[in-house]
Amino acid sequence: MALEHSLRRALERNEFEVHYQPRVDLKSLRVVGMEALLRWNHPQMGWIPPSEFIPIAEDKGMINAIGQWVMAQACRQTQALMDRLGRALSVSVNLSAHQLRDPALVGSVRAALSESGLPPSALELELTETALIEDVDHSVNVLRTLKQAGLMLSVDDFGTGYSGLSYLKRFPVDILKLDRSFVYQRTEGVSSFEFIKALVDMAHALKLSVVAEGIETPDILTLLTDASCDHGQGYLFARPMPLARLEQFLEEEN
């Protein structure tokens, strides 16, 4: 209740901050882009994780406004970073199911792009399977419009739902983000490696690229590289970090 009250004021009081987790090309180990992850610096309670306030924002009809702010901020900061560093980067933004249903979504995406000057192909939207299949026909329409505008689209937390690969044919998505739990899973009889390799091969056959989430150890990195997984994120490379630290991180890589 108290949290809801202060959440209503968080935007105007400038208490949100976008952090970024680098995404790495698994062949070259170079950073190709980053995922935007929202943080809330509550004046009394300090940093509150999105798992605690996003559900409230969704419930109380605040997620669309917050999501628009994240989008605008991520586009602006990424374009500024590319200008300062003189290198190409892409940024991915998480969308909740509510935002997919928002009639203003496409307009606000276009506005964020034109105001920042970020090329549409440098912006990726991450959608969960659950959000996509809530209203398949509507999702397909929105995704088609976003693809026509030149954006990249990914399926987030892939492997945690139940829909499998067949539904992917319906959605014009470019990227599968393998969930951390999936990357670490040991299935009876089939080794993780064979399981992941088969999945990556299928994704590639469908012209999708694969990003593994939650890479924490060199062993897992080797396994994913051997399975031809394209990109990865995880604590082994870098944690989500504020913009200033990301810039330092990228400068050191140059």
129 scored as a contact of Na ion (CB under 5 A): no
156 scored as a contact of Mn ion (CB under 5 A): yes
124 scored as a contact of Mn ion (CB under 5 A): no
Dist. CA 114–CA 102, nearest whole Å: 20
Interface with ligand G in residues 95-154 (CB under 6 A): 95-96
157 scored as a contact of ligand G (CB under 6 A): yes
**Binding footprint of ligand G, residue count (CB under 6 A):** 23
The single residue among 35, 124, 129, 157 that binds Na ion, judged by CB under 5 A, is: 157
From 108-116, 164-172, 207-215, 219-227, give the range in contact with ligand G by CB under 6 A. 207-215
In this structure, what is the dihedral angle of CA atoms 73, 79, 83, 87, given to the nearest 10 degrees? 130
Query: Are residues 250 and 31 in contact, defined by beta-carbon separation less than 8 angstroms?
Result: yes
Q: What is the C-alpha end-to-end distance of the chain, expressed in Å?
A: 47
Distances (CA, A) of 182 to 70, 75, 137, 214: 27, 30, 28, 10
Write the single-letter amino acid at 56: I
State in angstroms the smallest separation of the CB of 37 from ligand G.
Answer: 4
Query: Are residues 173 and 208 in contact, defined by beta-carbon separation less than 8 angstroms?
Result: yes
124 scored as a contact of Na ion (CB under 5 A): no
Q: Which is nearer to ligand G, 53 or 171 (CB)?
A: 53
State in angstroms the smallest separation of the CB of 194 from Mn ion.
Answer: 26
What is the dihedral sign for C-alpha 72, 77, 78, 82? positive
Dist. CA 134–CA 101, nearest whole Å: 10
Contacts with Mn ion by CB under 5 A lie at 94, 126, 156
Contacts with Na ion by CB under 5 A lie at 156-157
Contacts with ligand G by CB under 6 A lie at 21, 37-38, 49-51, 54, 67, 70, 94-96, 156-157, 180, 213-216, 233-235, 240
